[in-house]
Amino acid sequence: MKQIAVISFTKKGAELNKKLCRGLILSDTVLLGFSMEKYMDEKEEKTLDSFTSIHKLMEELMKPPAEFECLSGLVFIGACGIAVRAIAPYIQNKAKDPAVAVVDEGGNYVISLLSGHLGGANELTKQVAAYIGAVPVITTATDTRKVFAVDSFAVKQALYITDTAKIKVISGALLNDEKIGIYSEYPVSGQLPAGLGHENQSKGICISATEGLQPFHFTMHLLPKNLIVGMGCKKGVEPEIMYNRLQKIFSEKGLRMERICKLCSVDIKKEEPGLLKLADKLGVDFQTYTVKELQQVSGSFTASAFVENTIGVDNVCERSAALGSGYGKQLIAKVSGEGMTLSVYEKEYQINF
């Protein structure tokens, strides 16, 4: 579940904060409201948490494991200057920074301040503005010029950008009316946006699971996030052990962890702390299936009599990954060790313009 912190500094701002936290519905997202303590109304149902110092609040939000990169967004209700000073110590890069938007306390304007494309600030700005009847202020050049934005495209198509520094080269070329090539190992449907072409170009984007491909002199690689990890474990396995084990196996198989889009298991493990924390660290959904659902999965799997006698199904990791991927392609068969089993499947993928 994603989290967005909404922070206000005045009485009027607190009212707008409560309106957002009580009514704005965002997919798979929880809004956490924070108001200056002196503007809290103790008689009302508590919607907001209080703070006395914005710097201390930011430090609290930043404490592990709630690192800055784990927040999907921040909405400041107040002056842009306050927001800039508050986030300045925690800004890292395009790949890690969350969406940051600023709303004036009158609710007239919503400004996309940081991570407009990859972090989703532009989309967040539009959603907040639509809900409160404000004007969205978006200043990214590709949006104002209505030019194809490769980073927005990557977010919408569930693609991982291997080198975010190349975004500005591709975007800069498009803004200068240069043609950009596109190469994809996966099916492409729909009409290509203006500026993109399949013909040979000096610069282009490559959508592939193979990072070594260089279809263009300057190639920007986009990897599909279409890997499903199925996992079973003993009770109490630490998430760090799970993560390190997964990382080691992915490295051995030449796969990128950033391609993982879902973690799956059996429903008796739906409250297992290690699996929940692993999914959170990976930034993916954790989906579980009943024993009956797993029993009904067709295919050839590595059976375990012990597991079957214990929970009622002969395999958890492969069956759950197969089901979670929609019966995709098995990339890693069952691997056991350190109190866990895991398997990886690749689901079908295509680009939709």
The pTM assigned to this predicted structure is: 0.82
Helix axes 54-62, 80-87, angle to 10 degrees: 40
| Chain mean pLDDT for the chain | 92
Q: How many CA atoms lie within 13 A of 232 on its CB side?
A: 27
Q: Tell me the per-residue pLDDT of 76-118, one tens digit each, with 9 for 90 and over.
A: 999 999 999 999 998 888 888 889 999 999 999 999 999 999 8
Q: Which of 78, 38, 35, 79 is nearest to 57 (CA)?
A: 35
Looking at this protein, which amino acid is placed at residue 206? C
Under 8 Å between Cβ of 204 and 220: yes
Q: Which CATH architecture has domain 227-348?
A: 2-Layer Sandwich (3.30)
In CATH, 150-224 is 3.40.1390.40? yes
Q: Tell me the per-residue pLDDT of 28-62, one tens digit each, with 9 for 90 and over.
A: 788 999 999 888 776 655 788 989 999 999 988 87
Cα–Cα distances in angstroms (integers) from residue 161 to residues 63, 158, 261, 298, 311, in the given order:
27, 10, 14, 34, 40
Of 63-72, 257-266, 273-282, minimum mean pLDDT range: 63-72
Q: Tell me the per-residue pLDDT of 115-172, one tens digit each, with 9 for 90 and over.
A: 999 889 999 999 999 999 999 999 998 888 999 999 999 999 999 999 999 999 999 9
How far apart (Å, rounded) are the C-alpha atoms in residues 284 and 281? 8
Looking at this protein, which amino acid is placed at residue 91? I
| Residue boundaries of the structural domains of the chain | 2-139, 150-224, 227-348
**Topology given in CATH for the domain delimited by 2-139:** Rossmann fold (3.40.50)
